[in-house]
Amino acid sequence: VHYPFEPFRIKMVEPIHLIDRQTRESLLREAGYNVFALKARDVLVDLLTDSGTGAMSHIQWGAMMQGDESYAGAASYFRLSETIHSIFGFQHFVPTHQGRAAENILSALLVKPGLFVPSNMHFDTTDANIRARGGRPTNLVIDEAFIPSSMHPFKGNMDLCKLKSFIDHTGPENIPLGMITVTNNAGGGQPVSMENLHGVAEIYRSHGIPFFIDACRYAENSYFIQQREPGYQDRSILDIAREMFSLADGATMSAKKDAIVNIGGFLAMNDEELYRRACNELILREGFPTYGGLAGRDLEAIAVGLQEGIDETYLAYRVKQTAYLAGRLKELGIPIMDPPGGHAVYIDAGAFLPHIPPSEFPGQSLVVELYIEGGIRGVEIGSVMFAHSDPETGAMIHPKLEMVRLAIPRRVYTQSHLDHVVNTFKLIAENRDSMRGYRMTYAPELLRHFTARFEPI
Ligand code: F0G
């Protein structure tokens, strides 16, 4: 497997350390076996998330020095506005402190108790923001999304038949908005094809349902379209992104992903009336519409990062780096979600640890082992994150896959860091039969994975 050439050199470094195994064991015990409760300095290779953890460029840092910190009408806002307009094309936008703040505003304005919001798959914060308003997030991704070995090039696609019959069954009047997540983070970071986006947009439009794209990883999605979808090989990433967003009525964006910043996001839309209401909601909770919970310097970093995030040389490196880790793990026989996504490698923990049932969290068991064995921090994307009780029957519903995500921060780690992950998996695979399941000893109602506590069974 080939490691891609990094299209950058390193100008600033941050030391990392491997603390000894005994200390790792006791720290994890104190953390209730939840890696979110660890101190970052006690982690060697941190693959918890690709969100806000990227390395900014010298151009982004330079732009930050030019941040205009005026309360209203700052120049930085207008620079960001121009960039957003040129890529996304929506008529209006409000900056937010991150993606979930955009989701909160959208849910506050549109979702009412008992209403449904379909998507391919909602990510955890979107799911929770809809539920927090009494709504019902509904996932309608194609079936291939749940077959880790399926090589379908666009496993993030919405199942258009399911979407149509869902709308017929539910009634469009009970669907205040429809969404799609690009790439599908809850389902292996898999892309959505342009053909599918056209289909989804057409179905929503014909029923008068506003269409919002969860756009955090739109640049990676655009790159996959260019690489895999017939007819797009000669189109630029910018051009592909513009076509994607021209199909929608708006977007929620966490700039912490494909805009390569440490904090920030926005909510964009065409509808002027919705924009006015969003501004009022923003002023109440985030800030004045020309800064929305961010500093002027943050707006500058996003404006530059959006451009860097759609650079093809960068995107080719990014996707190949992820494919390298995936390929090396496959060589070891570790079951992964194929083909690898853009921002992360997803391990099929259910298949890796068949002796641990979903109710005992095989993914959590693997996350714990990765830290104990190699000081690596990953995240469970399975029953810890997504199992919930059915609002009607109260029965526990488990997700179809028990996965562990190794998310790769942008422009941060090199080959030797990823090789350390591969070597750690070698050791873990040898002892997998002795790995045990976990029992939850504490969990809040929503977004429980962040603060849950566990004990080994
Ligand atoms: N939508 C998707 C698809 C996401 O992956 C995330 C965040 C959000 C929305 C919310 O954005 O964090 O800026 O509020 N995902 C991070 C992750 C946390 O680790 O995947 P946010």
> Is 15 part of a structural domain of the chain?
no
Residue 62 is predicted with a pLDDT of 98
> Is 2 part of a structural domain of the chain?
no
Ligand 1 atom nearest to CA at 102: 14
Residues 62 and 41 in one domain: no
Q: What is the CATH number of the domain that holds 440?
A: 3.90.1150.10
Residues 332 and 303 in one domain: no
Residues 338 and 375 in one domain: yes
Cβ–Cβ contacts within 10 Å for residue 205, how many? 15
Residues 229 and 146 in one domain: yes
Residues 214 and 106 in one domain: yes
The residue out of 279, 309, 339 marking a domain boundary is 309
Ligand 1 atom nearest to CA at 256: 13
Sign for the pseudo-dihedral over CA of 185, 187, 193, 199: negative
Distance (angstroms) between ligand 1 centre and the Cα of 51 equals 7
Backbone angles phi, psi at 143, to 5 degrees: -60, -30
Going by alpha carbons, the residue nearest to atom 1 of ligand 1 is 123
Residue 445 is predicted with a pLDDT of 81
Q: Which residues of the chain have pLDDT under 50?
A: none
Ligand 1 probe mutation, 96, 125, 183, most atoms within 8 A of CB: 125
Stated pTM of the model: 0.96
Residues 290 and 403 in one domain: no
> Is 9 part of a structural domain of the chain?
no
The residue out of 274, 309, 344 marking a domain boundary is 309
The residue out of 309, 335, 355 marking a domain boundary is 309
> Is 349 part of a structural domain of the chain?
yes
Ligand 1 atom nearest to CA at 214: 1
Ligand 1 probe mutation, 257, 260, 384, 404, most atoms within 8 A of CB: 257
Structural domain tally of the chain? 2
- ipTM for the complex shown: 0.99
Distance (angstroms) between ligand 1 centre and the Cα of 180 equals 14
Distance (angstroms) between ligand 1 centre and the Cα of 123 equals 7
Residues 451 and 377 in one domain: yes
Residues 99 and 44 in one domain: no
Ligand 1 atom nearest to CA at 186: 3
Residue 82 is predicted with a pLDDT of 98
Q: What is the CATH number of the domain that holds 110?
A: 3.40.640.10
> Is 43 part of a structural domain of the chain?
yes
Residues 239 and 331 in one domain: no
Residue 394 is predicted with a pLDDT of 86
Nearest to 311, CA basis, from 260, 265, 266? 260
Could you give the CA distance from residue 32 to residue 441 in angstroms, rounded to a whole number?
Answer: 8
Residue 389 is predicted with a pLDDT of 83
Residue 329 is predicted with a pLDDT of 98
Could you give the CA distance from residue 47 to residue 344 in angstroms, rounded to a whole number?
Answer: 9
Instruction: Find the domain containing 148 and state its range.
Output: 58-309
Cβ–Cβ contacts within 10 Å for residue 443, how many? 14
Ligand 1 probe mutation, 46, 185, 285, most atoms within 8 A of CB: 185
Residue type, 173: E
Distance (angstroms) between ligand 1 centre and the Cα of 217 equals 9
The gap from C-alpha 88 to its chain's centroid, in whole angstroms, comes to 19
